[in-house]
Amino acid sequence: MNSGYCINGHEIEAEFRFCVMCGAERPNAMEEKTSVATPEHLVITIDESDPLATAETVKSSIGYLEPVTDVSPQVTSQSNYERRMQLDKARDEAYAEVSALENLQQNVAEWEQRNNHSFLAKTSAVMQKNIAEADGLLTQYNRTVDSLRIPEAGTMAKLRKSFHRKLLWQTILIPLLSYLIYKIPRIPNRNVQRFFDGVQPSMKVILIYATVIYLVLLLGALIAYYRGWSTYQRKVITTLWQLQIVSRNVDQVRSEQGRLKSLYPQVNEWLVILGHSLTNPWRIRKEWFESSIGDLNEASLPNSLRISQAHEDDGPAMMGMQRYAAERFMSRGWRAKVFADQIDVIRESIGLPKDRLNVDMLDQDILYSPNGPRALIRTNIEELPILESIGRRQLLPLIKEVQKEAITKSRPPVNEIRKATIKTQKVAAEDEENSELTPWDEFLGFSIPVQGKPRTPLSVFSLSDSGKVAAHHDRYTTFMIVPERFKEKVYGVDDNQLHTYGETTKLPMDVVVRADFTGPIPAQDLLFLEKTAAQRAAAEEKESKPKSEFKKDKGI
């Protein structure tokens, strides 16, 4: 840090111009002020050039953004700000289009990834791989045939000519040389005699050597001929062997390729049909989940009839019925049965006889038959009416069997249904907690007479004074039909008037029937008929009295 001193000797820091003690100015303050460089000025300019005039054609993935070449007078009169706004709007539209295309591409990629993991996609990939492998083998065999080196024609003729030429030359040259060797040493010339040093081979020796040389050369010619012939034969045999292997393999590959190309479309059709049959065998309407009690005519129901619905929850009773239904339905061969029912429903919907469309004919169908059994099944197996018909065929027998077998054995708790509040839909979870549940047997036991609490068909308050004196409310006869397990709970009913049914009886429901009979009761003994009976009796009594006749012959 630079420091200085004022005229009074006080120290002044570099960032101060005057002394803080005496107020005197620092001596070199003016020099430092003048030595500071003048800062550069920031110049702001406005580009008045036309951006459309300098615009270039920009290539993008969605097209071209070309500059406007033909500008009308109205456009040229716009300001630069408005033109920039138009360009920004066009840019935003281009970005929106790019974003839409990217979203579409992402959706297509997700769809492809989702479908590539299905069994049909994997099987199709394997089939395409096998066909591509067969095509690759054919291409490889074609390259093998093209790369084969066929032995040149005339090779054996060349070998024979070479052998004959060698044999001819040695047959001519060896006797000639033998003759010269025999004659030249015997020429009467001193120089010749000196060269041979008096050696004069005999004819026998010359013939022996000539014969040996001839045989050696002949053997060499034969060896060369045999070697060429064996090489040629080996090439021919190898080429024939390779051609036979390629021919046999090509026949097998072409046969397999034709079989795959004819089989794989059928496999694809079978996979589509079986996929729909397994994953979507039938369709259940939403209305089928609703109760049919809502269709009852309330006016036709007697006041003494009490109805209840089984409570659907996750309790042991409902789980037992579900387990029973699953065991009954998902037995061995149930998928084959459902598939046969699907074919029968489709056959009935298109009006074909049974011998024209069945399971056996699907496998015997020819390839690429537009009106064949597989094509008909493939076209109609996704129709909603057919799926609903199949569901009706499968569920109705199961429902009846569950009602006959499972529901009377599991005996879930019930909700009593009043005629004013008949339920047509399942109760919500929060409503089920607040609803009053009644055990199965307790609901059935409401109409069973309990010991010490007699139930009469007529109340005492419905009888007149004469009826009470006659005690009609205590004189009644009860007839009942109850399950076998309720027999011990019934009191006050004679055995002749009590009928039971066994637990093994297959009924769609448990029922308790009670009929109370009393009377005959005179009308005057009933409170609501007492006045009517009295009036009727008075009228009858009045009508029964004889009318008095006035006789003129008698006086008063």
Q: Where are the alpha helices (DSSP H) in 289-383?
A: 316-329, 334-350, 359-363, 373-380
416 and 318 in one domain?
A: yes
Q: Please indicate, yes or no, if residue 472 is contained in any of the structural domains.
A: yes
Q: Please indicate, yes or no, if residue 463 is contained in any of the structural domains.
A: yes
225 and 352 in one domain?
A: no
Q: Map tokens 């093998």 to a residue.
A: 144
Q: What is the pTM of this model?
A: 0.47
Final residue before a domain boundary, out of 266, 295, 323: 266
Q: Please indicate, yes or no, if residue 416 is contained in any of the structural domains.
A: yes
Q: What is the pLDDT of residue 378?
A: 85
433 and 344 in one domain?
A: yes
Residues of the chain with pLDDT under 50: 1-2, 33-77, 420-434, 550, 555-556
Q: How many CB atoms lie within 10 A of CB 366?
A: 10
527 and 450 in one domain?
A: yes
Contact by Cβ (8 Å): 22, 10: yes
Please count the structural domains in the chain: 4
- For residue 27, whether the previous peptide bond is cis, meaning omega lies within 30 degrees of 0, is no
502 and 419 in one domain?
A: no
Q: Please indicate, yes or no, if residue 381 is contained in any of the structural domains.
A: yes
CA atoms within 13 A on the CB side of 290: 11
437 and 298 in one domain?
A: yes
What are the DSSP calls for 364-401, one per residue?
TPPTT-TTSHHHHHHHHTT-HHHHHHHHHHHHHHHHHH
Cα angle value 55/56/60 (rounded, 5°) = 120
387 and 298 in one domain?
A: yes
Q: Please indicate, yes or no, if residue 10 is contained in any of the structural domains.
A: yes
Q: Please indicate, yes or no, if residue 534 is contained in any of the structural domains.
A: yes
489 and 422 in one domain?
A: no
Amino acid, res. 404: K
Contact by Cβ (8 Å): 341, 390: yes
- Report the length, in residues, of the chain: 556
Residue numbers of the domain that contains 30: 3-35
486 and 427 in one domain?
A: no
Q: Long-range contacts: 235-243, Cβ < 8 Å, 24+?
A: 235/149, 235/151, 236/151, 239/148, 239/149, 239/150, 239/151, 242/144, 242/148, 243/145, 243/148
185 and 297 in one domain?
A: no
Final residue before a domain boundary, out of 374, 406, 441: 441
Task: Return phi, psi of residue 374, to 5°.
Answer: -65, -40
**DSSP code for 421:** G
Q: Please indicate, yes or no, if residue 145 is contained in any of the structural domains.
A: no
Q: What is the pLDDT of residue 47?
A: 44
Q: What is the pLDDT of residue 223?
A: 92
291 and 260 in one domain?
A: no
For residues 269 and 252, give the distance between their C-alpha atoms in angstroms, rounded to a whole number.
26
Q: What is the pLDDT of residue 21?
A: 63
Q: Please indicate, yes or no, if residue 67 is contained in any of the structural domains.
A: no
Final residue before a domain boundary, out of 441, 476, 511: 441
Q: What is the pLDDT of residue 94?
A: 92
Q: Map tokens 């004189």 to a residue.
A: 475
354 and 432 in one domain?
A: yes
For residues 56 and 65, give the distance between their C-alpha atoms in angstroms, rounded to a whole number.
8
Q: What is the pLDDT of residue 505?
A: 61
